[in-house]
Amino acid sequence: MGAALTAITNARVIPLVQSEDPYVAVETARALAEGGLTSIEVVLRTEAALACMEAILSALPELSIGAGTVLNKQQAEDVARRGAKFIVSPGLDEGVVACAKKHGLDVFPGVATAGEAQRAVNLGLKTVKFFPAALSGGPQMIKALASVFRDLEFMPTGGVSASNLADYLVLPSVIACGGSWLTPKKEIGAGNFEAIKRLAEEALAIVRAVSR
């Protein structure tokens, strides 16, 4: 198990950060960390995404910062060179997986079907993103996949929120959940980073309740 996977397994909740402004990205990550969440996925959905990731890595080196929405090998190379600790993809791409392995990075490609899960297993992967979780069958689908792929672990993302987080985390095959509910655009746009901190604290309280 790589260091990033260990951090994710310990955190159990992976917030997604999307920003056009490196300063805002750093303050968002800082609020999440103050709320107790120390593994963060910076999604490549803006022109400034790489700059935002680098800014967080520089300002908050104690955090485990990865890159998400990595769609191809070139993007994987870019984030690896810029210091990403792990790579997350919405789908399963062999080029991304190979690049991550070359750089010694944990990689979590997305799967939604048994066929994709089987491909992941045959590529030597032990942990995958389950995406889009809610639209792909939610906890019941994960149970079904886990019954067949018994050594595969899942990180559901997409439609996960505080209201259903526990439903996923109680599953033995789920190591963590990812989600953007922790970083609502409205609060970030208003500079209300205290709200981000509170959402992180709420998520961590759910994690602790499930652990008990």
DSSP 8-state assignment for residue 64: E
Q: Is 94 a catalytic residue?
A: no
State the amino acid at position 1 in one-letter form: M
Read out DSSP for 80-146?
HHTT-SEEE-SS--HHHHHHHHHTT-EEE-EE-SHHHHHHHHHTT-SEEEETTTTTTTHHHHHHHHH
Q: What does the alpha-carbon distance between residue 13 and residue 38 come to, in Å, rounded to a whole number?
A: 9
Catalytic residue chosen out of the listed positions 41, 85, 153, 197: 41
Does the active-site annotation cover 129?
yes
Instruction: Determine the straight-line distance between the first and last CA of the chain, rounded to whole angstroms.
Output: 24
Q: Pick the catalytic residue from 54, 129, 153, 197.
A: 129
Catalytically active residues are 41, 129
